[in-house]
Structure 1
Amino acid sequence: MKIAVAAGNGRVAKEVIAEALGRGHEVTVFGRHEENNTASKDYRKKDIFELTAEDLQKFDVVVDAAGAWGLETMYVIPKAAIYLADLVKGTDTRLIVVGGAGSLYTNKEHTSTVELSPEFPDAFKPVSAAHGLALAELRATEGVKWTYISPAADFQADGERTGAYELHGEEFAPNSRGESIISYADYAIALVDEIEKAAHVGQRISVVRA
């Protein structure tokens, strides 16, 4: 498959790029930095908001790996999802968004979320809200073949690559040991699996270490 990764210099993006290349996919990386810090040889210096529909028209899948932590840049997360969705709208190109865990539901009625729980750290609430807004915007968009993938609550940049994960849906679901953990590397495996299978178009899914 031909895969484009936007905001490709981030740590999650790099794991996705390496995983996809390892499976024989063609990966083009778009990033805003001059240097290419990824495993792909096809790197193009282009910010997400400089991309055009023409830039993305040849790809089977576009991965939105935009991230931000500072309050002054938090808007990038939902804005990137909306922007990329508009570029692929009405086409067969799928959009896969690296999401957050805070918007996962904690009850069957889907009236409460992880970020609303008393234990959720205040420091993470702004970024969680930004990811949740991106998901809401995708849900309201028509003509886009999107998939939003939430990681486990403990999303570990340097965590072990176990090669195994559990796939869940909209509700927060720990594994059989009561853990909600996944490494960036295992998350990348799940994301590339979804690229290959296209099993959850128009849905939000979540993943946790098996």
Structure 2
Amino acid sequence: MKIGIIGATGHVGSHLLKAALAQNHEVTAIVRSPEKLTVAVPVLKKDLFDLTTADLSPFDVVIDAFNAPRGKEEMHKSSLIHLATILSGTPVWLIVVGGASSLYLNQEKTKRLLDTIPETSPIHPTASNMAQSLAALKEVPDVTWTYVSPAANFIYDAPYTGKYQINEDVLVKDEAGKSEVSMADYAQGVMDLIENPQKNIHISIAGNSENY
């Protein structure tokens, strides 16, 4: 499988790169600063907003692990609209590293995690814009996508455990009442998703907090 990873030098992106290489996929890092890469892989050095349909058409899958800088949280939405627009009408599958804010808190899907975050909270701009990005993605016609939310607590430096589950768009908590997943487990979950596709859908990947 030919996979392009946008933001492959970031926290989540680096885990995704490692997991994809371990599965023997043909991986290209789509980054602005290739000198930050710790493994030797083909590189497309380009800003996300400068990417074109021609740049991404060679891939079977493009994973968007872009993370908007603080103070520019609206880029979560604008970047995803750009990617979805240039991939519209192509067979390329866009997998988005999403946020937990858009996950529902009940099976009736009447309340989202975002609804519990005060507007005065420092995480609200990111949470709100990531939720808006999912809504905007759904409005772009003729694009194949999967929006993959992590658990509420997304842990960078926790080890890979292999104890994770792919779920629907409802927040999952473990027996201790915690919603957590390591980025390493999340990345492997995304690889599992590529092997067993779920397309044009919002899903989540959660782990077991006892492991972290």
TM-score bin (small chain): over 0.9
Stretch moving more, 141-150 or 115-124: 115-124
Stretch moving more, 118-127 or 91-100: 118-127
CA gap of 1:26–1:121, structure 2 versus 1, over 3 A, is farther
CA gap of 1:55–1:69, structure 2 versus 1, over 3 A, is closer
Q: How far is the alpha carbon of 1:178 from its aligned partner?
A: 2.3
Tell me which residue corresponds to 1:62.
62
Rounded Cα–Cα distance in structure 2 between residues aligned with 1:129 and 1:177: 27
Tell me which residue corresponds to 1:104.
103
What's the TM-score, normalizing by structure 2? 0.92
What's the TM-score, normalizing by structure 1? 0.93
Rounded Cα–Cα distance in structure 2 between residues aligned with 1:131 and 1:120: 14
Is the Cα–Cα contact under 8 Å of residues 153 and 181 in structure 1 kept in the other structure?
yes
Q: How does 1:124-203 map to 2 (within 5 A)?
A: 124-198=123-197, 200-203=198-201
Rounded Cα–Cα distance in structure 1 between residues aligned with 2:18 and 2:153: 22
Q: How far is the alpha carbon of 1:69 from its aligned partner?
A: 4.2
Q: How far is the alpha carbon of 1:117 from its aligned partner?
A: 1.8
Is the Cα–Cα contact under 8 Å of residues 114 and 120 in structure 1 kept in the other structure?
no
Give a deviation string over 1:136-155, Cα, whole Å, max 9, x none. Answer: 01111221110000000110
Give a deviation string over 1:104-123, Cα, whole Å, max 9, x none. Answer: 11133322111222689811
User: Which AA in structure 1 matches 2:9?
Assistant: N
Tell me which residue corresponds to 1:122.
121
Tell me which residue corresponds to 1:205.
203
Aligned residues: 208
Q: How far is the alpha carbon of 1:13 from its aligned partner?
A: 0.4
Tell me which residue corresponds to 2:6.
6
CA gap of 1:118–1:58, structure 2 versus 1, over 3 A, is closer
Q: What secondary structure does 2:148 align onto?
A: strand
| Structure 1 gaps, min length 5 | none
Is the Cα–Cα contact under 8 Å of residues 3 and 63 in structure 1 kept in the other structure?
yes
Question: Identity of counterpart residues, as a percentage?
Answer: 37
Rounded Cα–Cα distance in structure 2 between residues aligned with 1:86 and 1:19: 27
Q: How does 1:40-55 map to 2 (within 5 A)?
A: 40-55=40-55
Q: What secondary structure does 1:122 align onto?
A: coil
CA gap of 1:66–1:45, structure 2 versus 1, over 3 A, is same
| Structure 2 gaps, min length 5 | none
Rounded Cα–Cα distance in structure 2 between residues aligned with 1:129 and 1:54: 31
Q: How far is the alpha carbon of 1:130 from its aligned partner?
A: 1.2
Q: How does 1:32-47 map to 2 (within 5 A)?
A: 32-47=32-47
Q: How far is the alpha carbon of 1:189 from its aligned partner?
A: 0.5
Rounded Cα–Cα distance in structure 2 between residues aligned with 1:170 and 1:195: 18
CA gap of 1:196–1:174, structure 2 versus 1, over 3 A, is same
Rounded Cα–Cα distance in structure 2 between residues aligned with 1:91 and 1:207: 27
Q: How far is the alpha carbon of 1:54 from its aligned partner?
A: 0.7
Indicate the RMSD between aligned Cα atoms, in angstroms. 1.7
Is the Cα–Cα contact under 8 Å of residues 53 and 88 in structure 1 kept in the other structure?
yes
Is the Cα–Cα contact under 8 Å of residues 5 and 64 in structure 1 kept in the other structure?
yes
Stretch moving more, 145-154 or 113-122: 113-122
